[in-house]
Structure 1
Amino acid sequence: MKIIREILSWIIPIVIGIIVALLIHRYLFMFAKTDGPSMEPNLQDGERVVVLRQSKIKHLSVIVFDAHGLDPDAKPKSDYVKRVIGLPGDTVTFNRSEGNIYVNNQKVNQNFISNSERMNGSDYFDIDKNWDLKSLSRNWTRNTNSVRVPKGEYFVLGDHRSVSNDGRYWGYVPKSHIKGVVKAFPWSTTKETRNNINNLSY
């Protein structure tokens, strides 16, 4: 009996610790590492971030979501990091001649990326011209340059528009796929970049 009690005195704390860690990962926060250049210049390839599970998703929040079943090329357990442009019910419009995005007729302040980064088309399908929603939304139910985000879903873009595989191609991100809101570590970025990840909203 003494041996059993001794074994249990070791096992029980370990089991409790594992359960607590799993609950924290499931409901509070997780850690992630970016893969690829789609969020440059604000998140670099290989940069580590914390993902807050319960944070409110706002305009311009950076989120992590499960892309499997959304992007036809995404394999199981493929997490993407993108920026939220449109919330459920928003109307998103891209003015190609200006390079500006409008949400509910309000111009989005995109000072977190340069003018050339806003204007450039994407290389994802070898498109050598400025992107627009009409030409890229061939898989969407509405083929138009002004789209309404469905209830319970979000429209996302990468900051590095010229290479980002995002909502322009495969549509919207359901709430059920979202794992949380990204926060950059204070020591891993400049103050300006950190603000572009942690504090932007409109």
Structure 2
Amino acid sequence: MKKLFLFIWNWVVPIAIGILAYLAITTFWVNVVTINGDSMDPNLLDQQKVVVQKTQNLKRGDVVVFDARQEDPRIKAGNKDYVKRVIAVAGDTVEYKDGTLYVNNKKVDESYISTEEQNAGTASSFGSSWSLKTLSSTGLWEKSDQNKSVVPKDSYFVLGDHRSVSNDSRYFGFVSKKHVIGKIHVPFWYSTTVKNNISKQDQHYFA
């Protein structure tokens, strides 16, 4: 009996605690996901593994994962989650004019992407000037998101860093806070260039 107790105490209990800890961490705090696609290139690369912190305390510049099935009515078969950058939060205005992106009439520092993506990439199918009002009046967005001039409560306006290929808020509208899975963190074992591109945006969002 004593040997059985020692076996349980020394082996079964630690293993059980480890399993419970893992489940708690992955369910309530962090998880590891693999980037699929190049809509966040060059800052996040296809097949790169990143850590997702399960939080809803988000700010402009954060890179997030959200349930695209709840947001994009034209989602492609097999897709589930999108990774995009938060450009604006509830109450913000967004406007793009002649190669420059503005939030609340302040120029956004977009040094984390190329000049080409800042200009042609952001204009994409919507021309050299657009705003939330014009985007939300295209008929592409869900009815609940249409004809809005500011980001609604508990919502975000998101863009991919690789604007010319990214399917983002320009095409499907605002992302609800309740559909956000978490915030992306780049692990230490990836290149410093990638990490710096993410942290730079966190620290210097407005020019």
TM over 0.5: yes
| Match runs of 1:31-50 below 5 Å | 31-50=32-51
The reply to whether residue 110 of structure 1 matches residue 77 of structure 2 is no
1:108 is aligned with what amino acid? V
SS of the residue 1:68 aligns to? helix
Q: Report the CA distance between 1:74 and its aligned residue.
A: 5.4
Q: Report the CA distance between 1:102 and its aligned residue.
A: 1.1
Q: Give the equivalent residue in structure 1 for 2:171.
A: 169
- Give TM-score, length-normalised by structure 2: 0.79
> Which of 81, 85, 93 is the matching residue for 1:91?
93
Residues 64 and 94 (structure 1), Cα distance of their counterparts in 2 relative to 1, 3 Å cut: same
Write the distance in 1 (CA, Å) between the matches of 2:188 and 2:14.
Answer: 33
Residues 137 and 82 (structure 1), Cα distance of their counterparts in 2 relative to 1, 3 Å cut: farther
Write the distance in 1 (CA, Å) between the matches of 2:72 and 2:31.
Answer: 23
Residues 148 and 194 (structure 1), Cα distance of their counterparts in 2 relative to 1, 3 Å cut: same
Write the distance in 1 (CA, Å) between the matches of 2:174 and 2:58.
Answer: 15
Identity of aligned residues (%): 41
- Give TM-score, length-normalised by structure 1: 0.81
CA offset digits 1:68-121 (Å, max 9, x no partner): 1111215688121110001111111122xx121111111111111111112225
Q: Give the equivalent residue in structure 2 for 1:195.
A: 196
Q: Report the CA distance between 1:30 and its aligned residue.
A: 1.2
Q: Report the CA distance between 1:49 and its aligned residue.
A: 1.1
**Cα RMSD, aligned residues only:** 2.9
| Match runs of 1:175-186 below 5 Å | 175-186=177-188
Write the distance in 1 (CA, Å) between the matches of 2:177 and 2:56.
Answer: 13
Write the distance in 2 (CA, Å) between the matches of 1:3 and 1:71.
Answer: 58
Write the distance in 1 (CA, Å) between the matches of 2:30 and 2:43.
Answer: 21
Structure 2 unmatched ranges of 5 or more:
none
Aligned length: 195
